[in-house]
């Protein structure tokens, strides 16, 4: 994390763009997990696709520690471009990497294509106990391991302490309290909103629904249960619909300059955010330095503490590799090497998935001037320990995400309610799953 905020940018911005553009520093090489498992004679060449900034530093550390394995890093694009090129290479039967950066939500899609290497037989389970349990559960199925966790995004709140104080608002412990504060602020200061409900970020909304118990997919081979418009979804969407209808939250699209300006000028007083958000915010606002704080994600039931995750990546081995053992060695090293893993947080600003780093008070307990001297990471460490397990993404996430964004945007534009949008989404995705050869369970 940094205390030197940069100027607001003028182009669409998101977590991926931030990671691509952030600065990083050097470090000395160190040995890591599974280092002794690589083949020992000829030099093995691996290709690794990733878009995170300055990842070459950790790749160089691995290469220095493993003279018989030579990894070449390639950035073929971020997000959708990265995944499209990976799919194209797999379909063509040539050009795919040995290892690829893969966000949690995309693992089921590539598993459905039979594109991911099972790292379990090559020692990946040797490091499983080093990770937060829910992150390992998201990449594994029994003893089969389809990726090694890299970073995560447990959720919490970032809020403008000055706006809260001016209007007599306290950080909400429950979502009911949050709604009361939102309506109070809207009445007291028209044009100022407690938060924003963006129409164009399905993964953010998915994180909110995850916390509320939403489990839209349950996949077992070619069988899939689809419960997009479940009771949990309806309750959560009705909550936000009420705030939207009352004019108590804004509905501005996210990830553009106007959206970040609203945080900086205080017209959006809270960001329902993820653990990577505190650093991102310091790099895109400059008028509100020192005015921000972090607090826990509000709870649906008083006295409970349940959270969810938004974002995060993994090191995924690609099944077409000719060097599965070396792939497993590389993935484990990149995720667990003590020096490199710490650098992911201090230099590339990724939130840890290793228990040792989550429990490192020097790392997680650092106070930051941007947040009024608060050690904001501690809020997200607490959240990381309470992420509800068992959430499954769909095996066709890109399609699902695009449809959800379109339907939510239409609802916010006046075409029905959010719950109506999810009823339609249920129909569309069920039909799509059937067309893809899945047996849809009712």
- Residue ranges and CATH numbers for the domains of the chain are 15-152+311-384 (3.40.190.10), 155-309+389-441 (3.40.190.10)
Rounded CA separation 147/130 (Å)? 14
Q: What is the pLDDT of residues 107-142, one digit of tens each?
A: 999 999 999 999 999 999 999 999 999 999 999 999
In this prediction, residue 41 has a pLDDT band, given cuts at 50, 70 and 90, of: low
The two tokens of residue 48 are: 């690794």
Rounded CA separation 102/87 (Å)? 12
**pTM as predicted:** 0.89
Integer angstrom CA distances of residue 141 from 88, 112, 389: 26, 13, 13
Q: Is the pLDDT of residue 148 over 90?
A: yes
Residue with tokens 């998935």: 353
**Which residue in 387, 334, 329 sits closest to 358, CA to CA?**
387
In this prediction, residue 335 has a pLDDT band, given cuts at 50, 70 and 90, of: very high
Q: Is the pLDDT of residue 13 over 70?
A: no
Contact 96, 318 (CB under 8 A): yes
Q: What's the maximum distance between 2 C-alpha atoms anywhere in the chain?
A: 72
Residues 6+ apart with CB under 8 A from 88: 95
The two tokens of residue 125 are: 């389970």
**Which residue in 180, 198, 179 sits closest to 418, CA to CA?**
198
Residue with tokens 């899945």: 438
Mean pLDDT of 143-152: 98
H/E stretch holding 309: none
């Amino acid at each position: 994390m940094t205390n030197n905020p940069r100027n607001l940018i003028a182009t669409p911005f998101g977590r991926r763009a931030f990671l691509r553009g952030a600065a990083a520093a050097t470090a000395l090489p160190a040995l890591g997990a599974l280092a002794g498992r690589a083949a020992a004679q000829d030099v093995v060449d691996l290709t690794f696709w990733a878009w995170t900034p300055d990842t070459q530093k950790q790749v160089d550390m691995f290469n220095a520690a493993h003279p018989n394995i030579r990894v070449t890093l390639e950035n073929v694009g971020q997000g959708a471009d990265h995944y499209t090129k990976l799919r194209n290479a797999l379909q063509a039967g040539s050009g795919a990497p040995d290892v690829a950066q893969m966000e949690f939500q995309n693992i089921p899609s590539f598993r459905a294509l039979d594109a991911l290497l099972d790292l379990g037989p090559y020692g990946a389970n040797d490091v499983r106990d080093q990770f937060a349990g829910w992150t390992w559960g998201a990449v594994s199925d029994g003893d089969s391991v389809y990726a090694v966790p890299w970073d995560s995004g447990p959720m919490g709140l970032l809020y403008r302490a000055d706006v809260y104080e001016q209007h007599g608002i306290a950080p909400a412990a429950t979502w009911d309290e949050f709604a009361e504060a939102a309506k109070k602020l809207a009445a007291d200061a028209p044009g100022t909103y407690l938060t924003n409900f963006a129409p164009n970020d399905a993964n953010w909304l998915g994180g909110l629904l995850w916390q509320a118990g939403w489990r839209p997919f349950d996949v077992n081979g070619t069988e899939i249960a689809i419960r997009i418009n479940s009771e949990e979804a309806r309750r959560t969407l009705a909550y936000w619909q009420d705030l939207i209808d009352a004019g108590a939250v804004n509905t501005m699209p996210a990830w553009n300059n106007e959206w970040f300006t609203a945080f900086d000028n205080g017209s959006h007083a809270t960001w329902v955010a993820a653990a990577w958000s505190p650093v991102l915010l310091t790099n895109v606002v400059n008028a509100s330095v020192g005015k921000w704080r972090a607090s826990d994600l509000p709870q649906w039931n008083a006295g409970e503490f349940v959270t969810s995750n938004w974002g995060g990546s993994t090191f995924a081995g690609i099944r077409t590799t000719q060097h599965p053992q070396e792939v497993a060695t590389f993935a484990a090293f990149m995720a667990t090497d003590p020096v490199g893993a710490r650098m992911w947080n201090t230099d590339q600003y990724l939130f840890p998935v290793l228990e040792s780093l989550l429990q490192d008070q020097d790392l997680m307990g650092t106070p930051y001037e941007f947040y009024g001297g608060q050690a904001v990471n501690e809020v997200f460490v607490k959240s990381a320990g309470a992420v509800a397990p068992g959430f499954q993404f769909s095996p066709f996430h890109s399609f699902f995400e695009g449809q959800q964004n379109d339907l939510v945007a239409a609802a916010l534009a006046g075409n029905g309610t959010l719950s109506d949008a999810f009823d339609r989404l249920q129909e569309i995705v069920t039909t799509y799953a059937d067309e893809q050869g899945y047996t849809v369970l009712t």
